[in-house]
Amino acid sequence: MKASIHVSKLCKSFVLAEKGAGPASLWQALSAGKQAAVSYREVRALKDVSFDVRQGERVGVIGRNGAGKTTLLSILAGVAESTSGTVEIVGDVHAMLTIGAVLREEITGRENIWLDGTMHGKSQEEIASHVEAIVAFADLGEFIDRPVRTYSSGMKGRLAFSMGAFIEPDILIIDETLAVGDAFFADKSMRRMKEIARQGRIVFMVSHSLGSIVDMCDRCIWLDQGKIVMDGEPKSVTDAYQAAVTQADEAELARKFAEGEIVISRPEIGRITRVDLIQDSKVIAATATAFYPFEIRVAGVLMLTTPGLVRPVDLQVALTRVDGRPIWRQRLSATGQRLPESGAFTVGVTFDPMLLGADLYGLDVLLCDDAGPIDTSRRAFEVIDEQGQHGGRPLLYYPPVITTRALEAS
């Protein structure tokens, strides 16, 4: 019997209390008297998703955070139920949805191999024929005979992938598992997945690395807001996806950094007139690509004040990740440069190459003097990594050398 996946009009909805309403703890839920009315809203993670996967296909799923990718994989793996629609799967499924999710912490790596094989219906002889290959592929050394609770996340990912790749399920479902290994292991894993597909098995994977999808898969599905936008040849789909992301609405990104407006304005001293993000000699809206030169260009104007009372005006540029992690902050004066006493100015901050990790960032520009802030400007932008990195979620790909220089003054 050939392995296959058939999905028809699949929908998945979640019901959420508005603004975190509802009991905050079990004790409150049990002890509280009459509760205030709570309003709920429905969130549809998947909306009428339909597709078929045939034996031997390697399918990659891409999309922005919240697109429904992991929800789809969870339903295919049988760990979540659909709200409506049908999912028909023919064949034995091995799913790796989170790091080490298929592993038992208190037993050794080798014991996990035997247990996992048994749970997939393999005979003792079949498991024995693969044990040494799994051990060699995972390359965990003496840790293979130590409890899994002593493993790092990368070691758990290596063992979990190796088990799935050699127990030989009919359908292998993977959610970003390759991101936990080093580059050598990731390349080895890709070669192994191609071998699995050539044997007639199905590989179904989610990845934020567009390069990995193009290299690994022969088909790509693009999800957005729970719907399939495109389903086809990987290079065509990933190119279309990247073009769409590049045109992302900056206002939508900026809302994720909302902290209340900073009401600061001393126009009699000066103001920031423009903040541009520039890459490949073009002003970009809200999306930058990692490893390419990137420039933040700030334009403003300073007013001439009473002679003898001029306070040096400074410019500060700061980057913050969406989770609040400060990334970088620098003042123009720290570079040994100064803004003009009056008139228009333009200052550029160049990253060459731009080495921020793929994520969402807030850019804050502050014009100030000894008396405090004069004017501020806030932007938000997303960094996309086309190459795809291994080893987790980096903050910076490499400690950069960032310089600030005045481009012109008039």
Model confidence over 363-382: pLDDT tens digits?
A: 999 999 888 889 999 888 88
Calculate mean pLDDT across residues 80-98: 88
pTM reported for the whole predicted model: 0.60
pLDDT at residue 235, rounded to an integer? 93
How many angstroms separate the CA atoms of 315 and 317, rounded? Answer: 7
Angle between the N-to-C axes of helices 124-138 and 109-119, in degrees from 0 to 180, rounded to the nearest 10: 140
Angle between the N-to-C axes of helices 153-167 and 183-198, in degrees from 0 to 180, rounded to the nearest 10: 20
Q: Domains in the chain, start-ordered, CATH in brackets?
A: 57-78+91-246 (3.40.50.300), 251-409 (2.70.50.60)
Model confidence over 90-107: pLDDT tens digits?
A: 998 888 776 556 788 899
pLDDT at residue 30, rounded to an integer? 60
Contacts of 215 (CB under 8 A, 6+ apart): 190
- Other Cβ atoms closer than 10 A to 3: 20
Calculate mean pLDDT across residues 324-337: 87
How many angstroms separate the CA atoms of 317 and 377, rounded? Answer: 10
How many angstroms separate the CA atoms of 263 and 265, rounded? Answer: 7
